[in-house]
Amino acid sequence: MFVLVAGLLLAVAPRASAGTTAERVHAAALEFCRAHPTLESLRRDGYTPVRPGATHWANFAGPARFDLDRPRQAVVRGGKLVGVLHAQALRLGGLPDFGPPARPHTHAGGRTEMLHVWCSDDPRVAFSPHGR
């Protein structure tokens, strides 16, 4: 791209794109996964199992609306964080349109829209229905 400044034609690098919404959600999920290498680190951030032995750990003190940096739930398998869950009630507008390959689905009797994002560098796996 070129810009005319004070009669001089200057070459300017195009502005870098911030990526698609799905790419930003995937990057935020990977950062969350890296920041929580242990279950104790999840507990310190307010996540607790929704019931004893559950694979979903919720942050009930977290925001009720979609927050890219504070997923509604963490998904734990085998004592390890394997993914995150973003969710928002449909009465609050549901989740934003993430674009492919992120595909939210409804849950809780059709009252909540949610998106699982798995801790994987490969977006095809990160947004697969069941993870790895």
Task: Write out the DSSP string of 57-107.
Answer: EE-TTS-SS--TTS-SEEEEETTEEEEEEEEEEGGGT------TT---EEE
**Is 99 part of any domain?**
yes
| Percent of the chain clearing pLDDT 70 (strictly above) | 84
**Is 49 part of any domain?**
yes
What distance in Å separates the CA atoms of residue 74 and residue 59, rounded to the nearest whole number? 8
Cβ pair 114, 105 in contact under 8 A: yes
**Is 1 part of any domain?**
no
**Is 39 part of any domain?**
yes
Is the per-residue pLDDT at 120 higher than 70? yes
Is the per-residue pLDDT at 8 higher than 60? no
Which H or E run contains 35? helix 21-35
State the total domains in the chain. Answer: 1
**Is 24 part of any domain?**
yes
Mean pLDDT of the chain: 84
Is the per-residue pLDDT at 119 higher than 80? yes
**Is 132 part of any domain?**
no
pLDDT digits (tens, 9 = 90+) for 10-54: 444 333 345 789 999 999 999 999 999 999 999 999 999 999 989
In this predicted structure, what is the pLDDT of residue 9?
Answer: 43
In this predicted structure, what is the pLDDT of residue 132?
Answer: 53
Host domain of residue 20:
16-126
**Is 10 part of any domain?**
no
- Say which range, 12-26, 68-82, 84-98, has the weakest mean pLDDT: 12-26
**Is 21 part of any domain?**
yes
